[in-house]
Structure 1
Amino acid sequence: MEQPTIVTDGRRIKGNRRRRALIEATLRVIERDGVSGVSHRTVSQEARLPTSASTYYFTGLEDLLTAALSSVMTEDAERVRRLTAPGDNRHELALLFAGVVALPGHLLAEYELFLLAARRPALRKATDEWLDALRDFAYCYTDDPVRAWYAAGMIDGILLHSLLRDEKPTAAEIETAIRALLPGPPRNP
Protein backbone atom coordinates (compact mmCIF):
# COMPACT_ATOMS: atom_id res chain seq x y z
CA MET A 1 0.00 0.00 0.00
CA GLU A 2 1.31 3.41 -0.97
CA GLN A 3 1.93 6.00 1.78
CA PRO A 4 -0.21 9.13 1.48
CA THR A 5 1.62 12.25 0.43
CA ILE A 6 1.54 15.03 2.99
CA VAL A 7 0.93 18.34 1.32
CA THR A 8 2.14 21.35 3.23
CA ASP A 9 0.62 24.70 2.46
CA GLY A 10 3.46 27.21 2.83
CA ARG A 11 1.01 30.06 3.30
CA ARG A 12 -0.60 28.32 6.26
CA ILE A 13 2.79 27.66 7.86
CA LYS A 14 3.83 31.29 7.32
CA GLY A 15 0.49 32.47 8.73
CA ASN A 16 0.84 30.29 11.83
CA ARG A 17 4.38 31.58 12.35
CA ARG A 18 3.25 35.19 12.04
CA ARG A 19 0.31 34.63 14.37
CA ARG A 20 2.63 33.05 16.96
CA ALA A 21 5.11 35.92 16.56
CA LEU A 22 2.33 38.41 17.24
CA ILE A 23 1.22 36.53 20.37
CA GLU A 24 4.80 36.41 21.68
CA ALA A 25 5.23 40.10 20.87
CA THR A 26 2.01 40.85 22.77
CA LEU A 27 3.44 39.12 25.84
CA ARG A 28 6.66 41.14 25.59
CA VAL A 29 4.70 44.41 25.26
CA ILE A 30 2.58 43.49 28.28
CA GLU A 31 5.71 42.57 30.23
CA ARG A 32 7.30 45.90 29.40
CA ASP A 33 4.33 48.32 29.29
CA GLY A 34 1.33 46.51 30.75
CA VAL A 35 -1.93 45.71 28.99
CA SER A 36 -2.49 49.41 28.33
CA GLY A 37 0.59 49.40 26.11
CA VAL A 38 -0.92 46.87 23.71
CA SER A 39 -1.99 48.27 20.37
CA HIS A 40 -1.86 46.84 16.87
CA ARG A 41 1.04 49.18 16.15
CA THR A 42 3.14 48.35 19.24
CA VAL A 43 2.61 44.62 18.86
CA SER A 44 3.39 44.63 15.15
CA GLN A 45 6.53 46.71 15.72
CA GLU A 46 7.62 44.36 18.51
CA ALA A 47 7.10 41.39 16.18
CA ARG A 48 8.91 43.24 13.37
CA LEU A 49 5.89 42.85 11.11
CA PRO A 50 3.78 45.40 9.26
CA THR A 51 0.99 46.93 11.34
CA SER A 52 -1.52 45.35 9.00
CA ALA A 53 -0.36 41.90 10.16
CA SER A 54 -1.98 42.17 13.58
CA THR A 55 -5.24 43.42 12.11
CA TYR A 56 -5.16 40.63 9.55
CA TYR A 57 -4.65 37.79 12.05
CA PHE A 58 -6.73 39.22 14.91
CA THR A 59 -10.14 40.87 14.62
CA GLY A 60 -9.31 43.39 17.34
CA LEU A 61 -7.26 43.95 20.46
CA GLU A 62 -9.66 41.78 22.49
CA ASP A 63 -8.99 38.90 20.10
CA LEU A 64 -5.23 39.47 20.35
CA LEU A 65 -5.33 39.60 24.16
CA THR A 66 -7.52 36.49 24.27
CA ALA A 67 -5.04 34.64 22.08
CA ALA A 68 -2.13 35.72 24.27
CA LEU A 69 -3.95 34.75 27.48
CA SER A 70 -5.09 31.43 26.07
CA SER A 71 -1.62 30.66 24.83
CA VAL A 72 0.18 31.17 28.15
CA MET A 73 -2.50 29.63 30.34
CA THR A 74 -2.85 26.55 28.12
CA GLU A 75 0.92 26.11 28.04
CA ASP A 76 1.25 26.48 31.81
CA ALA A 77 -1.74 24.25 32.52
CA GLU A 78 -0.21 21.53 30.35
CA ARG A 79 3.10 21.76 32.23
CA VAL A 80 1.25 21.27 35.53
CA ARG A 81 -0.94 18.49 34.13
CA ARG A 82 2.15 16.51 33.15
CA LEU A 83 2.97 16.39 36.86
CA THR A 84 -0.31 14.66 37.72
CA ALA A 85 1.36 11.46 36.53
CA PRO A 86 1.73 8.63 39.05
CA GLY A 87 4.22 9.18 41.84
CA ASP A 88 5.16 12.01 44.13
CA ASN A 89 5.72 15.06 41.92
CA ARG A 90 5.63 17.82 44.52
CA HIS A 91 9.38 18.38 44.17
CA GLU A 92 9.06 18.64 40.37
CA LEU A 93 6.22 21.15 40.74
CA ALA A 94 8.37 23.23 43.10
CA LEU A 95 11.26 23.12 40.60
CA LEU A 96 8.92 24.20 37.81
CA PHE A 97 7.67 27.20 39.78
CA ALA A 98 11.15 28.14 41.03
CA GLY A 99 12.18 28.38 37.38
CA VAL A 100 9.14 30.53 36.61
CA VAL A 101 9.79 33.02 39.44
CA ALA A 102 13.48 33.26 38.53
CA LEU A 103 12.52 34.84 35.18
CA PRO A 104 9.57 37.01 36.16
CA GLY A 105 8.94 38.83 32.87
CA HIS A 106 6.66 36.19 31.41
CA LEU A 107 4.95 35.72 34.79
CA LEU A 108 4.26 39.45 34.99
CA ALA A 109 2.58 39.35 31.59
CA GLU A 110 0.53 36.34 32.67
CA TYR A 111 -0.80 38.08 35.76
CA GLU A 112 -1.59 41.23 33.78
CA LEU A 113 -3.68 39.02 31.51
CA PHE A 114 -5.11 37.16 34.51
CA LEU A 115 -6.38 40.46 35.93
CA LEU A 116 -7.80 41.40 32.56
CA ALA A 117 -9.79 38.15 32.63
CA ALA A 118 -11.19 39.22 36.01
CA ARG A 119 -12.69 42.23 34.25
CA ARG A 120 -13.69 40.43 31.05
CA PRO A 121 -15.54 37.16 31.64
CA ALA A 122 -15.09 36.12 28.00
CA LEU A 123 -11.39 35.61 28.75
CA ARG A 124 -11.93 33.26 31.69
CA LYS A 125 -11.90 29.97 29.78
CA ALA A 126 -8.10 30.02 29.74
CA THR A 127 -7.75 31.02 33.40
CA ASP A 128 -10.21 28.27 34.35
CA GLU A 129 -7.99 25.78 32.53
CA TRP A 130 -5.01 26.92 34.63
CA LEU A 131 -6.91 26.75 37.91
CA ASP A 132 -8.33 23.34 37.02
CA ALA A 133 -4.80 22.06 36.35
CA LEU A 134 -3.64 23.28 39.77
CA ARG A 135 -6.61 21.66 41.48
CA ASP A 136 -6.08 18.43 39.53
CA PHE A 137 -2.51 18.37 40.81
CA ALA A 138 -3.78 18.87 44.37
CA TYR A 139 -6.28 16.01 43.94
CA CYS A 140 -3.29 13.72 43.48
CA TYR A 141 -2.68 14.22 47.24
CA THR A 142 -6.12 14.91 48.69
CA ASP A 143 -9.76 14.20 48.04
CA ASP A 144 -10.82 17.34 49.92
CA PRO A 145 -12.10 19.96 47.42
CA VAL A 146 -11.47 22.79 49.90
CA ARG A 147 -7.83 21.73 50.34
CA ALA A 148 -7.46 21.48 46.55
CA TRP A 149 -8.90 24.99 46.21
CA TYR A 150 -6.51 26.30 48.90
CA ALA A 151 -3.58 24.65 47.15
CA ALA A 152 -4.41 26.38 43.85
CA GLY A 153 -4.73 29.71 45.67
CA MET A 154 -1.48 29.18 47.55
CA ILE A 155 0.44 28.42 44.38
CA ASP A 156 -0.97 31.49 42.64
CA GLY A 157 -0.17 33.51 45.75
CA ILE A 158 3.44 32.34 45.80
CA LEU A 159 3.82 33.21 42.12
CA LEU A 160 2.16 36.61 42.52
CA HIS A 161 4.14 37.50 45.66
CA SER A 162 7.37 36.59 43.89
CA LEU A 163 6.72 39.49 41.51
CA LEU A 164 6.76 41.88 44.48
CA ARG A 165 10.00 40.67 46.06
CA ASP A 166 13.61 41.05 44.99
CA GLU A 167 14.49 37.78 46.70
CA LYS A 168 12.63 34.99 44.94
CA PRO A 169 11.45 31.86 46.76
CA THR A 170 13.63 28.83 46.25
CA ALA A 171 12.43 25.45 45.05
CA ALA A 172 12.92 24.14 48.60
CA GLU A 173 10.73 26.92 50.07
CA ILE A 174 8.04 26.34 47.46
CA GLU A 175 8.15 22.59 48.07
CA THR A 176 7.83 23.13 51.82
CA ALA A 177 4.69 25.20 51.26
CA ILE A 178 3.22 22.63 48.87
CA ARG A 179 3.93 19.76 51.28
CA ALA A 180 2.43 21.73 54.19
CA LEU A 181 -0.88 22.05 52.36
CA LEU A 182 -0.72 18.67 50.60
CA PRO A 183 1.05 16.51 53.21
CA GLY A 184 -0.32 13.10 52.39
CA PRO A 185 1.22 10.46 50.18
CA PRO A 186 0.27 10.57 46.49
CA ARG A 187 -3.13 9.05 45.82
CA ASN A 188 -1.88 7.91 42.40
CA PRO A 189 1.14 5.73 43.31
Structure 2
Amino acid sequence: MATGHTDPQRRARIVAATLDLIAEDGVAGVSHRKIAARAGVPLGSMTYHFSGIDELLGEAFRSFTDHIVALFDAHLAPPADRDEARAAVADLIHALSEGSQRDLVLTQELYTLAARRPAYRELTREWMARSRAHLEKHFDPGTARQLDALVEGLTLHRALSPAPHDRALTLEAVTRITATDRP
Protein backbone atom coordinates (compact mmCIF):
# COMPACT_ATOMS: atom_id res chain seq x y z
CA MET A 1 0.00 0.00 0.00
CA ALA A 2 1.24 3.48 -0.81
CA THR A 3 2.22 5.72 2.06
CA GLY A 4 2.36 9.42 2.76
CA HIS A 5 0.96 11.86 0.26
CA THR A 6 1.06 9.28 -2.54
CA ASP A 7 -1.81 7.32 -1.00
CA PRO A 8 -4.79 8.46 -3.11
CA GLN A 9 -7.31 6.49 -1.05
CA ARG A 10 -6.25 7.83 2.34
CA ARG A 11 -8.84 10.63 2.52
CA ALA A 12 -11.64 8.22 1.52
CA ARG A 13 -10.49 5.69 4.16
CA ILE A 14 -10.56 8.42 6.79
CA VAL A 15 -14.12 9.38 5.81
CA ALA A 16 -15.26 5.74 5.82
CA ALA A 17 -13.61 5.12 9.20
CA THR A 18 -15.35 8.21 10.57
CA LEU A 19 -18.76 6.90 9.50
CA ASP A 20 -18.00 3.48 10.95
CA LEU A 21 -17.03 4.98 14.29
CA ILE A 22 -20.06 7.29 14.37
CA ALA A 23 -22.29 4.26 13.73
CA GLU A 24 -20.59 2.35 16.57
CA ASP A 25 -19.95 5.07 19.18
CA GLY A 26 -21.97 8.12 18.11
CA VAL A 27 -20.59 11.50 17.14
CA ALA A 28 -19.52 12.12 20.74
CA GLY A 29 -17.37 8.99 20.62
CA VAL A 30 -15.19 9.93 17.67
CA SER A 31 -11.76 11.50 17.89
CA HIS A 32 -8.89 12.09 15.50
CA ARG A 33 -6.92 9.35 17.25
CA LYS A 34 -9.71 6.75 16.96
CA ILE A 35 -10.40 7.64 13.34
CA ALA A 36 -6.72 7.44 12.37
CA ALA A 37 -6.39 4.05 14.06
CA ARG A 38 -9.54 2.72 12.34
CA ALA A 39 -8.43 4.06 8.94
CA GLY A 40 -4.91 2.72 9.38
CA VAL A 41 -3.29 6.10 8.80
CA PRO A 42 -0.81 8.15 10.82
CA LEU A 43 -2.46 10.59 13.22
CA GLY A 44 -0.76 13.47 11.36
CA SER A 45 -2.80 12.58 8.26
CA MET A 46 -5.89 13.86 9.98
CA THR A 47 -4.73 17.47 10.01
CA TYR A 48 -3.14 17.14 6.58
CA HIS A 49 -6.43 16.10 4.99
CA PHE A 50 -8.93 17.97 7.21
CA SER A 51 -8.74 21.33 8.94
CA GLY A 52 -10.52 19.92 11.97
CA ILE A 53 -13.14 17.50 13.21
CA ASP A 54 -16.01 19.64 11.88
CA GLU A 55 -14.69 19.48 8.32
CA LEU A 56 -14.23 15.73 8.67
CA LEU A 57 -17.70 15.19 10.12
CA GLY A 58 -19.21 17.38 7.41
CA GLU A 59 -17.53 15.41 4.64
CA ALA A 60 -18.41 12.09 6.25
CA PHE A 61 -22.08 13.02 6.57
CA ARG A 62 -22.11 14.38 2.99
CA SER A 63 -20.79 11.02 1.85
CA PHE A 64 -23.51 9.31 3.85
CA THR A 65 -26.30 11.51 2.44
CA ASP A 66 -24.98 10.83 -1.09
CA HIS A 67 -25.43 7.12 -0.35
CA ILE A 68 -29.04 7.59 0.80
CA VAL A 69 -29.91 9.83 -2.16
CA ALA A 70 -28.50 7.12 -4.44
CA LEU A 71 -31.01 4.71 -2.87
CA PHE A 72 -33.80 7.18 -3.65
CA ASP A 73 -32.54 7.36 -7.23
CA ALA A 74 -32.32 3.58 -7.57
CA HIS A 75 -35.93 3.16 -6.45
CA LEU A 76 -37.48 6.22 -8.07
CA ALA A 77 -35.75 6.39 -11.46
CA PRO A 78 -37.46 3.35 -13.06
CA PRO A 79 -41.21 3.94 -12.47
CA ALA A 80 -43.16 4.78 -15.61
CA ASP A 81 -46.51 5.74 -14.12
CA ARG A 82 -48.15 6.90 -10.90
CA ASP A 83 -48.95 3.42 -9.56
CA GLU A 84 -45.39 2.24 -10.18
CA ALA A 85 -44.10 5.37 -8.44
CA ARG A 86 -46.29 4.68 -5.39
CA ALA A 87 -45.03 1.09 -5.27
CA ALA A 88 -41.45 2.35 -5.61
CA VAL A 89 -41.89 4.68 -2.61
CA ALA A 90 -43.27 1.78 -0.55
CA ASP A 91 -40.35 -0.39 -1.65
CA LEU A 92 -37.92 2.38 -0.70
CA ILE A 93 -39.40 2.64 2.80
CA HIS A 94 -39.04 -1.10 3.27
CA ALA A 95 -35.51 -1.16 1.85
CA LEU A 96 -34.45 1.61 4.21
CA SER A 97 -36.12 0.11 7.28
CA GLU A 98 -34.98 -3.45 6.62
CA GLY A 99 -31.54 -2.46 5.45
CA SER A 100 -28.43 -1.45 7.25
CA GLN A 101 -28.74 -0.73 10.97
CA ARG A 102 -25.66 1.42 10.36
CA ASP A 103 -27.62 3.67 7.99
CA LEU A 104 -30.41 4.07 10.54
CA VAL A 105 -27.95 5.04 13.28
CA LEU A 106 -26.07 7.44 10.99
CA THR A 107 -29.34 9.11 10.01
CA GLN A 108 -30.27 9.68 13.63
CA GLU A 109 -26.78 10.89 14.53
CA LEU A 110 -26.94 13.44 11.71
CA TYR A 111 -30.38 14.62 12.79
CA THR A 112 -29.20 15.00 16.38
CA LEU A 113 -26.17 16.98 15.27
CA ALA A 114 -28.36 19.12 13.00
CA ALA A 115 -30.71 19.89 15.88
CA ARG A 116 -27.77 21.45 17.72
CA ARG A 117 -25.57 22.93 15.01
CA PRO A 118 -26.66 25.13 12.08
CA ALA A 119 -24.01 23.88 9.63
CA TYR A 120 -25.37 20.36 9.92
CA ARG A 121 -28.93 21.67 9.72
CA GLU A 122 -28.01 23.09 6.32
CA LEU A 123 -26.58 19.71 5.29
CA THR A 124 -29.86 18.01 6.23
CA ARG A 125 -31.83 20.64 4.30
CA GLU A 126 -29.71 19.93 1.22
CA TRP A 127 -30.26 16.21 1.72
CA MET A 128 -34.04 16.66 2.00
CA ALA A 129 -34.08 18.82 -1.13
CA ARG A 130 -32.17 16.16 -3.06
CA SER A 131 -34.51 13.42 -1.83
CA ARG A 132 -37.56 15.49 -2.72
CA ALA A 133 -36.16 16.14 -6.21
CA HIS A 134 -36.37 12.39 -6.83
CA LEU A 135 -39.93 12.29 -5.50
CA GLU A 136 -40.87 15.33 -7.62
CA LYS A 137 -40.14 13.30 -10.75
CA HIS A 138 -43.48 11.61 -10.00
CA PHE A 139 -45.41 13.89 -7.62
CA ASP A 140 -46.03 17.61 -7.21
CA PRO A 141 -43.73 19.50 -4.79
CA GLY A 142 -46.23 19.59 -1.91
CA THR A 143 -46.91 15.88 -2.17
CA ALA A 144 -43.19 15.17 -2.51
CA ARG A 145 -42.56 17.05 0.75
CA GLN A 146 -45.24 14.98 2.53
CA LEU A 147 -43.87 11.75 1.05
CA ASP A 148 -40.35 12.64 2.14
CA ALA A 149 -41.57 13.02 5.73
CA LEU A 150 -43.54 9.78 5.41
CA VAL A 151 -40.45 7.93 4.17
CA GLU A 152 -38.45 9.17 7.17
CA GLY A 153 -41.18 8.43 9.70
CA LEU A 154 -42.25 5.02 8.46
CA THR A 155 -38.64 3.95 8.01
CA LEU A 156 -37.90 4.76 11.64
CA HIS A 157 -41.13 3.19 12.91
CA ARG A 158 -40.58 -0.01 10.94
CA ALA A 159 -36.90 -0.26 11.88
CA LEU A 160 -37.53 0.15 15.61
CA SER A 161 -40.71 -1.89 15.95
CA PRO A 162 -40.54 -5.47 17.21
CA ALA A 163 -43.46 -6.18 14.84
CA PRO A 164 -43.11 -3.82 11.88
CA HIS A 165 -46.17 -3.16 9.74
CA ASP A 166 -46.38 -4.86 6.36
CA ARG A 167 -45.90 -3.49 2.86
CA ALA A 168 -49.66 -3.27 2.27
CA LEU A 169 -50.00 -0.70 5.07
CA THR A 170 -47.02 1.24 3.73
CA LEU A 171 -48.52 1.30 0.24
CA GLU A 172 -51.87 2.40 1.67
CA ALA A 173 -50.19 5.34 3.44
CA VAL A 174 -48.34 6.33 0.26
CA THR A 175 -51.55 6.04 -1.76
CA ARG A 176 -53.48 8.21 0.70
CA ILE A 177 -50.89 10.96 0.58
CA THR A 178 -50.72 10.87 -3.21
CA ALA A 179 -54.48 10.56 -3.81
CA THR A 180 -54.92 14.30 -4.32
CA ASP A 181 -51.55 14.83 -5.98
CA ARG A 182 -51.56 17.01 -9.05
CA PRO A 183 -49.66 15.28 -11.86
TM-score > 0.5 by shorter chain = yes
Distance 1:65 1:48, change over 3 A: same
Determine if contact 1:141/1:186 at 8 Å carries over to the other structure.
no
- 1:48 positional shift: 2.2
Separation in 1 of the partners of 2:79 and 2:96? 23
Q: Which residue pairs with 1:53 in the alignment?
A: 45
Mapping for residues 62-81 of structure 1, pairs under 5 Å: 62-81=54-73
**Structure 2 Cα separation of the partners of residues 12 and 49 of structure 1:** 11
Cα gap change, 1:150 to 1:13, in 2 (>3 Å): farther
Specify which structure has the bigger relative contact order, considering alpha-carbon pairs within 8 angstroms and separated by 6 or more residues. Answer: 1
TM-score, with length taken from structure 2: 0.78
Partner of 2:133: 136
TM-superposed CA distance for 1:144, in Å, is 5.8
RMSD of equivalent CA atoms = 2.9
Cα gap change, 1:176/1:137 in structure 2, threshold over 3 Å: closer, same or farther? farther
Conservation of the 8 A alpha-carbon contact between 1:151 and 1:181? yes
- The answer for unaligned runs of 5 or more in structure 1 is 1-9
Cα deviation per residue 1:86-128 (whole Å; 9 max; x = unaligned)? 6233323333332332221222112201221232222234322
1:149 aligns with 2:158: no
What is the distance in 1 between the residues matched to 2:6 and 2:123? 25
* Aligned partner of residue 41 in structure 2, secondary structure: coil
Aligned match for 2:7, one of 10, 14, 25: 14
Amino acid at match of 2:118: P
Secondary structure of the residue aligned to 2:152 is helix
> Partner amino acid for 2:45?
A
2:111 to 114, 130, 146: 114
Give the aligned partner of residue 123 of structure 1: 120
Identity of aligned pairs, percent?
30
Equivalent residue for 2:172, pick from 168, 176, 187:
176
Is the alpha carbon distance of 1:85 and 1:21 closer, same or farther for their aligned partners in structure 2, counting shifts above 3 Å? same
Deviations 1:61-95 (A, max 9, x none): 10111001111112322332451566233323333
Q: What secondary structure, in the 3-state scheme, does the structure 1 residue paired with 2:7 have?
A: helix
- The one-letter amino acid of 2:171's match is E
Quick check: 1:38 aligned with 2:30?
A: yes
Question: Counterparts in 2 of 1:76-115, with a 5 A limit?
Answer: 76-81=68-73, 83-84=76-77, 87=80, 88-102=84-98, 103-115=100-112
